[in-house]
Every structure is written in structure tokens, then in C-alpha cells.
Structure 1
Amino acid sequence: MANDPAWQAALDWHLRLHAQPDDTALQAAFSTWHSAHPAHARAWQRAQRVWQLSGALTPSPRQPIPTVQPSLPPRSRPTRRRKRLLGGAAAMAACLLVVLLQWPTWQADYYSPKGERRTLSLNDGSQLTLDGGSAIKVHLDKTQRQVTLLRGRVYFQVSRDTARPFQVEAGTTTITVTGTAFTVDHGDERSSVAVEHGSVQVDDSQTDTRQSKAALGAGDRLELDHHLGKAQLSHQAPGTMAAWRKGLLVADNQPLVQVLEQVAKQLPGLVVLHDQALGQRRVTGVFDLTRPEAALEALITPQGGRIEAYSPWLLVIQSAPGKNK
């Protein structure tokens, strides 16, 4: 379905109608599209089923993820001194984890905490939207405009200035534009560039494929796998690209691990996937990122997984007993 234009258009219409339910002109345009071809009606029915299923699977946010209380055999019960040592070690580990999670923000000019989105204006007129857990450095002068994405996802609405091309550095990837709207998502293992309108030039120095140096136009999305050194180009409706800025995550036959990365950006602390087979299962759905705990449950539970909270800073995901044999 990912490469089906009717399916992509149906998702786009669903997002646009969801965002503007009272727009009569939009509803009329949708009706025209819907009746133009039987494939459009079939794609719309599939999109509605996916939307309803994802919503039906989303549990109440009042239901907390259970905290794991490890039990020790009677002979292994710690002494009072050992308890103090274990407690101190746990506290030190928690502090170290907080430091590691916050490290990129100490280098940043701007950042957005996990679970929040932040919009800012640069002095050249460009508009940026930072997803939760994102951090950037900005350098603007008379000859150049450069933003370094330290981590996370940022939407760029770039003000046109042919004398000063706008560059985004994300690890080994460089994106160059003069004026356009696009999103860059940068992680340790994967990065992506998606163009809503206009065009960008992408150059990745560590990806050994022809597509690692690509000119992208409206609707193009380039996925870069830093671990495998591969790049994949695809096309999607502009509305689905903008979904995350409206608090929605649209997954279209994606590996669970990739969807999990997006949900985890909205949660405090660390989310660890302890089952690689579970991570490769394909997921299609629409998830509400404004309720990240509920979105996580809706993503993991139907796939036969379970979530265990070892502290407010650590969630571990693995297959439920008997589900991955």
C-alpha cells in the first residue's frame, strides 16, 4: 500500500478532514475525489478502517504501565548494607542515564523537551518546528545559513535567499536549499528527509548508494540507514508528512521498530526494545502522539508485546509469554 497513490491520497484526505472538519470547500473537493474512481472509494474504506482500528486499540491514558518489582530468592535477599549499596548504584545509574539523555541539549542553541513541540523564528524569516526531544545549533551570518540537527526531528519552512543557501547538517548528511518546506529526522541508526514543497539537495558521505546524493522534490522522502549504509527513496502525500506537527503518527506498513522510535520521542527517559523479531513486524495505523503512553500501548499490545516499567526513566518492551515462539 505504501506505493499506492490512491492509498496515499486517502490518508492525506483523512488527515486534512480530521484537521478541518467544518471546511465545506474541503468536503466538496473530497467528494469529487472520492467519486472520481472506484479505487479512491476502496482506498478511503481502508483508511477509515485503519483509523478506527488504531483509535479502538488506544487504551485509556489513566491506565499506567505497571512497574516491575524484581523478586529475589530467599537465599539472595540483600543485607541492609547491600541494600544501601544497591540503592546507591541504582541512583548513580539513573543520574548517568539522565546525563546521557540530556547531553545533546547542552550543546544546543534551541531544544524541545520530550513530549513537547516548539516553534521558533530565525532572524532570516525562516520558521522551524522542533519535535519532542529535538536539539539544534544555529549559525547565520552575511554569507551562509546553517542549522545543525543534533538529534530529533525538525520541520523547516525556509525563507528564500539565493545569495545565502540554507544548509542543514544531520550527522553525515547535508541538506541544501534556497527556499522550501521539508522535515529532517535524525537518529543514531537512521535519518530521513521529506519534502512538502520546493526542492532540496541531499548528500550523505557514509551511505554507499547512488541515492545518497539526490535531488528531492515535493512528496519525496529519502530514508538513510547509517548502520547498513543504504538509502531508499519513496513518495508520499504531503498531508501525511505534516501529521506529526498535528500530534498524529501515520504508519503505513512500517517496521514496528521505526514507529516505536517516533513514539519514544514523546516519552521521558529511555525505551528499550528487547525483541528484534517483534521490532520487524509490520504496522499500519494512526497513533495519537498527544497521548504517548496510550499510543505505545496501542502499538505494542496488538503485536503480542508487553511493556515493563523499571523506573520512570526506563521502559522495556518484549514479546508477551507464548507470543513469539
Structure 2
Amino acid sequence: MTDTTPAQRHLKQATTWFVALQSSRVDPEQRRQFERWLAASPLHRQAFSEVEQVWGNLDALKSADLPELEQARTARPPRWRHGRPLLSGLLLAVTLAAARQEFSAPTTSYQTGIGERREIALADGSRLQLNTATRLRARVTWLRREIELEQGEAVFDVAHERLRPFRVHAGKLQISDIGTLFNVRHQDAGGTSVSVLEGEVELRVGRSWLGEILSAGFRRRLDAEGRWHGPEKIDAEPVLAWTRGQLLFNHTPLAEVTKELERYHNLHFVLADPSLAQQTLSGRFDAGDLQPFLQALQSMLPVRVQRGKDTIVLHKR
């Protein structure tokens, strides 16, 4: 039996070939062996391309003043024994330098104010969109990409790299990307929800080693008490409406509508009559412009709006 998958074996072979070819002393016969290996399978070409991509991102390493790396560049190419490659000094140097960078890579904090949205491009090509009142921290190293969503909501459009995992931590939940576009919303009082729009993610709770796969078109929620809710089928349009500055409601209880609006405006809604909480509202509204919403609310529901400086009271009429 083997403890590696075919894809992992291809990547290991591709890494070893890449390392061997970096040496100035590589001989023609070894280059011919490499060409035969490369032509043997499209999977070999794909794996070698991924290794080249990772190496292409290591500009800081390639220009670093590391004696072991300079020695590795002029080392003899690795020999072959019983069909298994031996790692050269270059691979060791890369590993040592990557370990150094892993400990020294900075963590960058990003946040948005109430009603603000922001788009962020990470060094790996991934793109993040932050919704209102969101705080997150990002750390991208040569070995991994880690995001901590402390509060709020964000869409993650992830640049896929099999060699460098992309993980989002939100409360007790860890989301691992599997080539994906996904939305995460995390509130201390409301728990964490994950909506997958493309691809798949793996979800893990706490220190659990066993993850669950969530595919495109579904959402799962972990409530504030740590209870899993079953998968829900979703449409992309309402999930992504906030990225266009819109709020989309579909027979949504008024209590939830007002709570959502409080995320985008520095004010508080009060329902003077508790029965109003169950009134439902449908429609598309501008998240940043409250006045048209209040006018629509009075025309669509039996509600009278009393507006103060930082409080809006809804009366039943």
C-alpha cells in the first residue's frame, strides 16, 4: 500500500525534476530523461506547471542572500537509485528559506466601517470583498494562506493552488478552499454561515480532524451554541447582492429585515408592536440609502415610521 495519492506522487516527481534542472551541471542525458517523463502523461505536465508556478511566486527567495541557496545552485544534479529521486541541496535550501519566511511573514489587518465595502487583492491572486463592519486578518506565506474573519462578512474568490492551502477561520469553524468562490458571514451572536457559489469547501469545527464537504449551491450554518444546521439550497443572486450595494428580501420577517439594516446604518430599530416582527417584506433595496426603504415600508406594510436621531420606531397602523 502507499500513503500518497497519484496526484501527490506526480507533484513529488515534478518537484524533484524541477530541482534537478536548476543545477548548472545537469547533463544532456538527464534532460532527455526529463523530456520522456514529461511526455509520458498530461498529469506530469500539469504537476510540473504547478511547481513552476510556485517557484515563480518566490521572488523574495530567489533574490535572497542565502549561502545554502547559492551552494545548491552550483551543486551536482541528484543521482537516481532504484527509480527513486534523491533531493538535492536546492530543495533543502528552498525548504530552509521557506521555513524562515513562514515564521517571519507579516499578518495584515483589514476592516470596513458601518456601511462601507472594500475589495482586497492578496499576493497570491485571490480577491476578497469585505461587507459592512467587517474585520479580518490575512497571512500569506510560501507554504499556506490563512485568513481569520473576526467579525462581519466577506466573499472569497480564491486562486487555486494545490501546493498552498487557503483556509478561513471564523469563530469555531475552519473553511478549507477546494478551488472556490464562497461567502462567509460571522457574528458572535449569530454564529457562522458559509455559502458556496462555485466549487467546494471543506468545513471543520474546532479541532476536529474529520471535515464535511459543502458544494456549490448550498449553505450551512453553525450557530452561536456550536450546533450544525442542515444544508440549505441557495441562489447566488441574493447571497451576492451586498457586493453590488443592494439588499434582497424574499418574504423576510420584519424583525430580520431591521436587524440586517442595522448592520449598514449607525442606528437602532424599535418595533413598538411585537406583532410587527412577523410581517414579511419582499423587494430589492439600496443598502446605503435608508429613506427610499422607509417610504417603501410604509406603502407595503401596515407600518408608520417615527424617525429620531439614532432610533427608528415602527408603529402598527
**CA offsets, 1:110-146, max 9 Å, x none?**
1112222111101111101111211111122222211
TM-score, reference length from structure 1: 0.55
1:133-148 matches, within 5 Å, as 133-148=133-148
Q: 1:249, CA displacement in angstroms?
A: 1.7
- RMSD over aligned CA atoms reads 3.1
Whether 1:216 and 2:214 are equivalent positions in the alignment is yes
Alignment correspondent of 1:130: 130
Aligned pair partner of 1:268 in 266, 269, 272: 266
Alignment correspondent of 1:291: 289
1:12-161 matches, within 5 Å, as 109-161=109-161
In structure 1, what is the Cα distance between the partners aligned to 2:299 and 2:161? 48
Letter aligned with residue 162 of structure 2: T
- Higher mean alpha-carbon deviation, 300-309 vs 140-149, is at 300-309
Whether 1:199 and 2:197 are equivalent positions in the alignment is no
Q: 1:185, CA displacement in angstroms?
A: 1.1
When residues 109 and 185 of structure 1 are mapped into structure 2, their CA distance, relative to the original with a 3 A threshold, is same
Alignment correspondent of 1:250: 248
**CA offsets, 1:232-258, max 9 Å, x none?**
421122233222211222222333333
State whether residues 260 and 296 of structure 1, in contact with CA within 8 Å, keep that contact through their aligned partners in structure 2: no
State whether residues 108 and 135 of structure 1, in contact with CA within 8 Å, keep that contact through their aligned partners in structure 2: no
In structure 1, what is the Cα distance between the partners aligned to 2:186 and 2:160? 24
1:268 aligned counterpart, secondary structure: coil
When residues 140 and 271 of structure 1 are mapped into structure 2, their CA distance, relative to the original with a 3 A threshold, is farther
In structure 1, what is the Cα distance between the partners aligned to 2:203 and 2:192? 12
Q: 1:228, CA displacement in angstroms?
A: 8.2
Alignment correspondent of 2:96: none
When residues 194 and 233 of structure 1 are mapped into structure 2, their CA distance, relative to the original with a 3 A threshold, is same
1:229-244 matches, within 5 Å, as 229-244=227-242
State whether residues 178 and 199 of structure 2, in contact with CA within 8 Å, keep that contact through their aligned partners in structure 1: no
Q: 1:153, CA displacement in angstroms?
A: 1.1
2:264 aligned counterpart, secondary structure: coil
When residues 217 and 297 of structure 1 are mapped into structure 2, their CA distance, relative to the original with a 3 A threshold, is farther
State whether residues 254 and 284 of structure 1, in contact with CA within 8 Å, keep that contact through their aligned partners in structure 2: yes
In structure 1, what is the Cα distance between the partners aligned to 2:180 and 2:174? 15
State whether residues 108 and 139 of structure 2, in contact with CA within 8 Å, keep that contact through their aligned partners in structure 1: no
Alignment correspondent of 1:315: 311
**CA offsets, 1:263-317, max 9 Å, x none?**
2222125556676653344333222224134335545774445555553xx3254
In structure 2, what is the Cα distance between the partners aligned to 1:217 and 1:245? 21
1:169 aligned counterpart, secondary structure: strand
Letter aligned with residue 226 of structure 1: A
Alignment correspondent of 1:86: none
Q: Structure 2: which 5+ residue stretches go unaligned?
A: 1-106
1:114 aligned counterpart, secondary structure: coil
Alignment correspondent of 1:225: 223
When residues 288 and 168 of structure 1 are mapped into structure 2, their CA distance, relative to the original with a 3 A threshold, is same
When residues 176 and 297 of structure 1 are mapped into structure 2, their CA distance, relative to the original with a 3 A threshold, is farther
Greater RCO, CA 8 A, separation 6+: 1
Alignment correspondent of 1:25: none
When residues 306 and 122 of structure 1 are mapped into structure 2, their CA distance, relative to the original with a 3 A threshold, is farther
Letter aligned with residue 157 of structure 2: Q
1:159 aligned counterpart, secondary structure: coil
In structure 1, what is the Cα distance between the partners aligned to 2:222 and 2:299? 28
1:180 aligned counterpart, secondary structure: strand
Count of matched residue pairs: 208
Letter aligned with residue 200 of structure 1: V
Q: Structure 1: which 5+ residue stretches go unaligned?
A: 1-106, 207-211
% identical aligned pairs: 28
Q: Which of the two has higher C-alpha Rg?
A: 2
1:120 aligned counterpart, secondary structure: strand
In structure 1, what is the Cα distance between the partners aligned to 2:298 and 2:262? 12
TM-score, reference length from structure 2: 0.57
In structure 1, what is the Cα distance between the partners aligned to 2:171 and 2:304? 33
2:179 aligned counterpart, secondary structure: coil
